[in-house]
Amino acid sequence: EIVILRLGHRPQRDKRITTHVGLTARAFGAKGMLLASEDQKLADNIADVSTRWGGNFYVENNVSWKAEINKWKDAGGKVCHLSMYGINLPDAVPEIKECEKLMVVVGAEKVPFEIYEMADWNVAVGNQPHSEVAAVAVTLDRIAETDHLRDEFEGGELTIVPEKCGKKVIDNR
């Protein structure tokens, strides 16, 4: 079970990128995203994608990051904070793969130092600055036990049939 904790989301500035963090997490096998800011509209948009394209991905809006991390750890979960300053992902993958309940934390601007201390791992997806979207995608892909690109999302209104050229979509309604 993997959930994403998104910190520091600023509704004006980060709307697109936080939406992409959620959609990428969903596409790469996470169960849900906890949003440590108030943005119900963004949560609703991602829920709409799940209705349209299937699966049970959830977004919890306006959580307290500290309470969620503590709750997660109390329930036996581990926390992996993605930061370019951390241990490089290839060196951490074997250990992280052993974890069955994982919270992946990504920031926006500056992440409170307490996160570094509370995390079980501070992990860099390469020690160069890039993007939380890329960091989530590569991490979930590297630690996956199965190939999430082959996941089927049940119950959606629409299903894509891969085509060499063109767009084929089945309407299940």
We find the least distance from the C-beta atom of residue 116 to ligand SAM, in angstroms, to be: 10
We find the least distance from the C-beta atom of residue 167 to ligand SAM, in angstroms, to be: 32
Distance in angstroms (rounded) separating the CA atoms of residues 169 and 138: 27
DSSP calls for 96-123:
HHT-SSEEEEE-SSPPPHHHHHH-SEEE
Give, as ranges, the residues between 120 and 139 that touch ligand SAM (CB under 6 A): 124-126, 128-132, 135
Q: Which is nearer to ligand SAM, 110 or 167 (CB)?
A: 110
How many residues make contact with ligand SAM (CB under 6 A)?
17
User: What is the DSSP code (8-state) at residue 148?
Assistant: G
CA proximity to 24, closest of 34, 15, 33, 14: 33
Q: Which is nearer to ligand SAM, 22 or 156 (CB)?
A: 22
User: What is the DSSP code (8-state) at residue 12?
Assistant: T
Distance in angstroms (rounded) separating the CA atoms of residues 54 and 156: 3
Binding residues: 82, 107-111, 125-132
Q: Which is nearer to ligand SAM, 55 or 107 (CB)?
A: 107
Distance in angstroms (rounded) separating the CA atoms of residues 135 and 152: 23
Q: Which is nearer to ligand SAM, 99 or 104 (CB)?
A: 104
We find the least distance from the C-beta atom of residue 164 to ligand SAM, in angstroms, to be: 35
Distance in angstroms (rounded) separating the CA atoms of residues 12 and 135: 22
For ligand SAM, which residue of 12, 110, 163, 164 counts as binding (CB under 6 A)? 110
Q: Which is nearer to ligand SAM, 108 or 143 (CB)?
A: 108
Give, as ranges, the residues between 69 and 108 that touch ligand SAM (CB under 6 A): 82-84, 106-108
CA proximity to 50, closest of 136, 157, 152, 140: 157
Binding site for ligand SAM (CB under 6 A): 82-84, 106-108, 110-111, 124-126, 128-132, 135
